[in-house]
Amino acid sequence: MDISYLKEQLQAKEDMLAQTTRFLVQMQKDLKLKNNELSLANKDILDSIGFASLIQNALLPDVDVLKIFFKDASYKVKQQIGIGGDTIFIKNTNKGVVFGLLDSTGHGIPAALLSISGTLLLKELMTSMEIDNPQTLLNLLNFQLHKTFDNSKSSIAHKEGIIFSFSSVQQKLTYSSAKGKALLLRPTGEIEELGHSKKSIGDEANAEFELFEIHTKPGDKLIMYTDGLTDQFGGERNKKFSRERLKEVLRKSSTKSAGTVVKAIEEEFTAWKSENNQTDDVSFMVIEF
């Protein structure tokens, strides 16, 4: 075989290898540049979420308002990514106090916007129209969200939640619930699940939510929570936290203060979740009578 031919073939392969090497070096530089750009973009996003979290947390109400009317009260809001759809609502009236817990559909920024919109609507209804009936508040909140966010077929704004109204004059506690989750804990450890409407806010524009009245005694505790608590995966078999586990925590804390109960729930939830990611926004509130 002609040696010159072999030299040509070898040179061609060396040229190809050199070209491939240059291509790979350039690709590595491009990837490094893109990684830097992504890192900066990610930092901007995280910084924005962090600042948005400060804003949303600043809008959470002062729990001390409830302590004017009840023996003790405490709550915890743990949004999945720092901002989210869970919110606590507390507003005093000339007759008593209105309070509740609402859970907007979704996570992150969209849910946070719906959460803030719902809170502002409730405050507007209570301030300008002086409404403190929880049934009327839920009905009008549902109607207004439909009117605001209707996409001609169905509302894009959905919420679940529960609103209570306490009259300090009548010593009367009423509530209305749109699939809201609430329990009544007796000092004996007995637990009663409160009734609720089968409809959520946003299902139907003209939905009518029921009005309930409950009777409490000194030492009773009212617990509200969102499904992010009971639906969290964890434990040795990676199962849901469940309502039964929550009830067990409550039974063990039936004679403790509201603040102690909130701490017990949070500690049990954290231990159960362990290294797993938080799957949803998580909120709960405890009021002691």
Answer yes or no: do 112 and 251 share one domain. Answer: yes
pLDDT of amino acid 194:
96
* Tens-digit pLDDT profile for residues 245-279: 999 999 999 999 999 999 999 999 999 999 999 99
* Distance set, CA 254 to CA 182, 183, 184, 251, 288 (Å): 15, 12, 10, 5, 10
**Residue with tokens 């949070």, as numbered in its chain:** 266
Answer yes or no: do 34 and 157 share one domain. Answer: no
Answer yes or no: do 120 and 158 share one domain. Answer: yes
Answer yes or no: do 178 and 243 share one domain. Answer: yes
pLDDT of amino acid 98:
97
* Tens-digit pLDDT profile for residues 10-23: 677 777 777 777 87
Which segments in the chain show pLDDT lower than 70?
Answer: 1, 5-8, 10, 150-156
Answer yes or no: do 67 and 113 share one domain. Answer: yes
Answer yes or no: do 28 and 155 share one domain. Answer: no
Answer yes or no: do 88 and 202 share one domain. Answer: yes
Answer yes or no: do 51 and 66 share one domain. Answer: no
Distance, in Å, from the CA atom of 4 to the CA atom of 281, rounded to the nearest integer, reads: 73
Task: Determine the Cα angle at 238 with ends 233 and 240, to 5°.
Answer: 40
pLDDT of amino acid 274:
94
pLDDT of amino acid 151:
55
* Distance set, CA 164 to CA 8, 178, 195, 207 (Å): 88, 12, 13, 18
pLDDT of amino acid 36:
79
pLDDT of amino acid 272:
96
pLDDT of amino acid 28:
80
pTM of the model: 0.82
Would you list the DSSP string of the chain?
Answer: --HHHHHHHHHHHHHHHHHHHHHHHHHHHHHHHHHHHHHHHHHHHHHHHHHHHHHHHHTSPPTHHHHTTSSEEEEEEE-TTSS-SEEEEEEE-SSEEEEEEEEESS-HHHHHHHHHHHHHHHHHHHHHS----HHHHHHHHHHHHHHHHB-SSSBS--EEEEEEEEETTTTEEEEEEEB-EEEEE-TTS-EEEPP-BSPPBTS-TT-----EEE---TT-EEEEE-HHHHT-EETTTTEE--HHHHHHHHHHTTTS-HHHHHHHHHHHHHHHHTTSPP-S-EEEEEEE-
| Domain total of the chain | 2
Answer yes or no: do 48 and 166 share one domain. Answer: no
pLDDT of amino acid 212:
96
pLDDT of amino acid 6:
65
Answer yes or no: do 121 and 38 share one domain. Answer: no
Answer yes or no: do 92 and 34 share one domain. Answer: no
CATH number at 107 reads 3.60.40.10
Domain that holds residue 9: 1-58
Answer yes or no: do 137 and 224 share one domain. Answer: yes
